Structure 1
Amino acid sequence: MPALKHADALVYSSHQVVLSDISYTSFTYPGDQEALAALKAIPGAGPLLAWLDANFSEQITHLNNNEQMVRVNANNYGSLFTLVERCCAILSCKVPDVYITTNPEMNAYTSGQRRTCIVLHSALVEALTPDELCFVIGHEIGHIKAAHGLYRQLGDMLIRYWDILSSVVPIPGVGLLRIPLLLAYWEWYRRAEFTCDRAGLLCVQDAAPGLSALAQLSGKVAGYEDERNIEESIAQTEAHKEVNKLVLLVSILENSSTTHPFIPLRLKALKEYAHSDAYRQILAGQYDREPKALAAPATDATDGGTDATAVAAGAADAPAAKPLLAAGADTVDKWKASATGFFKR
């Protein structure tokens, strides 16, 4: 076996803090847990989706991944697999299945609940340094720990089957609630991305590679990397102050269905978190811990993923939520009260 690459990656440093048994609640972005709890409050939705995921969609995904992608393990792209193992050890997560797919788009994603997987696009692996790549891997591990995939699926089903749902729910005017529901769902989706950027930072424990990785997702020009200025990108978050309220409102409406926050906003939020007391406390060992029975073995790759009890624990950990319809209405009310609130994370 060839020697492993990336031996000098930050995650292998003797100074790196391993966050044993850390719970995702320790690093959630404000509003993420509340919005997710609102989705979880739909009666029976969680167990139903967990069953469908385990007995159908996970198996389809597993088969498709193995037929169409390259599976990464200790004997195949071992250096990349070792990076994933180390990131999982730092964030106290079972090692998921890992795949590489040939794709020119810089992207990575995760799926599954019991048998989780991380898919890395070849362009991403080729473009990023090991430390930047570990930030992205840590971000995806954050999604796994928070069981985001299950509730993204729930939101997608609400969007896809809304007409059927509204026709059978015996509530007058339920059809009028579609927009508030969607606004609440998309708002949570974006906040979940901020949460997972924090997970990526906790993995590498250095803001520089995280900021650099995010900056490249918004625009990378080969040969000009030395001229990229992250502070200038962060300054773009002030653009909303340069337009009138009508333009701002139209912009909010046009972008209300985006699933990811704009990169300048993510850069700003990550930098602020890196300088926060909350971040320093976690590295000092002061954080929420998962119950011992639910804490994932850091290097167990045998079954790869978050089990059903961990998903249930996530629901139990979440704060009491308002019904989803109320959450959607609250979102609309907040936007009415302050059009600029959408841009101020």
Structure 2
Amino acid sequence: MVSDHVRPSRVALTGVSSRAYEHPSAQTALAAMQNIRGFDTLLRKVHGTIGEPLVRMRYLSSAVRVGPRQFRRLQAIKDEAIRVLDLPFEPEMYVQSMGAVNALTIGMDRPFIVVSTELLDVFDDDELLFVIGHEMGHALSGHSTYLTMARILASIGLSAFPIAGLAISAVEAALQDWSRKSELSSDRAGLLVSQDVDTAIRALMRLAAGAHADEMDTREFLKQAAEYELGATGARDRIYKFFTPSGTHPILVARASQLDQWVRGGSYARIVETREYPRRGEDSNVTLRETIRMQRQATKQLKRLRGDDKELRRRGLEIPYSVTDGESDV
């Protein structure tokens, strides 16, 4: 039933700032991208040439807009995600057949979300809530401008926007690096909305393997992630890992591992359980020095947790994952 999507036990995060869930690597990558000579000029040129109406018109003409009378199940899930994140605006949402399990957030001034028919066919409602929360995280963080720019440039190429002194290869590399790392931030936003770690990890598993959730186990997937992230110690493994394709999204096991580490580090509980999180109303008062300090602190915490996990693996001990699947087998 549609009404089941609103769960009183799911905490509404009033006025939550994107600073609550931004991954430090994504913040660093964004700063590096913005500091490339000519990048701001390129952004203005893309915005002025393509424009918001043209981007939106593509989906008005070839997708189905979600609303109270169309895809009501998805509308209810969207409403719940807006309620939990206390989003100050309501992004439009469209459904389109893409030939792949996918969802994306685009738009320059007015971000909107596009969900593939294939994703609706595979994901259950709880997993969809994580995905929509993930996309809402992109919207709240202001990622959609850069994500749209990346899609436009990938489609027509940087040569369409000639700018003197612009290092094309540097822009392409920086956009791709930031795009990958922004997914880590939005995975956290998705978890803040779904408020179920097993569901979040299972959704990432479905992106990797599609259906057959009854044959998957989130704990085993995180063990697989640890083997990928922590087990590549030899020179040959590191070379193979370097050449593993990743595109604009980080490898799914790495996303699962990063999300699990964020939960085990205590940040998720502080936000959801004790309501300790930065508010949007305070964003304008945050100094650059404070931002850098918080990034460094978060990075140190992740490194420390990763070191602890590596030591547990070395000693043949179980890593205390945040999921509940498979606990009876441990």
Q: TM-score, normalised by structure 1?
A: 0.72
Letter of the structure 1 residue corresponding to residue 127 of structure 2: E
Report SS of the residue matched to 1:291.
helix
Conserved? CA contact 1:54–1:113, under 8 Å = no
- Asked if 1:33 corresponds to 2:17, the answer is no
Which residue of 1 is the match for residue 254 of structure 2? 265
Q: Distance in 2 between matches of 1:317 and 1:82?
A: 40
The match for 1:276 among 251, 258, 265 is 265
**3-state SS, counterpart of residue 109 of structure 1:** strand
Mean CA deviation greater in 234-243 or 135-144: 234-243
What CA distance in whole angstroms lies between the structure 2 residues aligned with 1:99 and 1:314?
A: 35
User: Which of 178, 192, 215 is the aligned partner of 2:182?
Assistant: 192
Uncovered stretches (5+) of structure 2, i.e. residues with no partner: 293-330
TM-superposition CA deviations, 1:258-307 (whole Å, max 9, x none): 21111111111222223332111111221111128x9xxxxxxxxxxxxx
Q: TM-score, normalised by structure 2?
A: 0.75
**Structure 1: which amino acid aligns with 2:278?**
D
Match of 1:79 in 2: 73
Distance (Å, rounded) in 1 between the aligned partners of 2:61 and 2:161: 34
Alignment of 1:215-254 (within 5 A): 215-221=205-211, 224-237=212-225, 238-239=227-228, 241=231, 244-253=234-243
Question: What aligned pairs does 1:251-330 form with structure 2 within 5 A after superposition?
Answer: 251-253=241-243, 255=245, 258-283=247-272, 284-291=274-281, 319=291
Could you tell me which residue of structure 1 aligns to residue 64 of structure 2? 70
1:206 match: 196
CA distance in 2, matches of 1:205, 1:138: 10
Q: Where do residues 2-21 of structure 1 align in structure 2 (5 Å cutoff)?
A: 5-9=1-5, 12-21=6-15
Backbone CA RMSD of aligned residues: 3.5
* Alpha-carbon offset, residue 203 of structure 1: 0.3
Partner Cα separation in structure 1 for residue 153 and residue 49 of structure 2: 20
Equivalent pair of 2:46/2:149 in contact (CA under 8 Å)? no
Consecutive unaligned residues in structure 1, runs of 5 or more: 295-311, 321-345
Whether the 8 Å CA contact 2:33–2:171 is kept in 1: the answer is: no
1:139 aligns with 2:144: no
Distance 1:70 1:236 in 2: 38
Q: In structure 2, do the counterparts of structure 1 residues 84 and 314 end up closer, same or farther at CA, with 3 Å as the change threshold?
A: farther
Query: Which gives a bigger RCO, structure 1 or 2 (Cα 8 Å, sep 6+)?
Result: 1
Distance 1:81 1:39 in 2: 35
Aligned to 1:169: 165
Residues 220 and 282 of structure 1: is their aligned pair in 2 closer, same or farther, counting only changes over 3 Å?
same
User: Aligned equivalents of 1:18 and 1:54: distance in 2?
Assistant: 37
Query: Alpha-carbon deviation of 1:47?
Result: 7.5
Per the alignment, do residues 59 and 71 of structure 1 end up closer, same or farther by CA in structure 2, a change over 3 Å counting? same
Alignment-derived partner of residue 117 in structure 2: 122
Identity of aligned residues (%): 26
User: Within 2, Cα distance between the matches of 1:31 and 1:219?
Assistant: 27
- The one-letter code of the counterpart of 1:133 is L
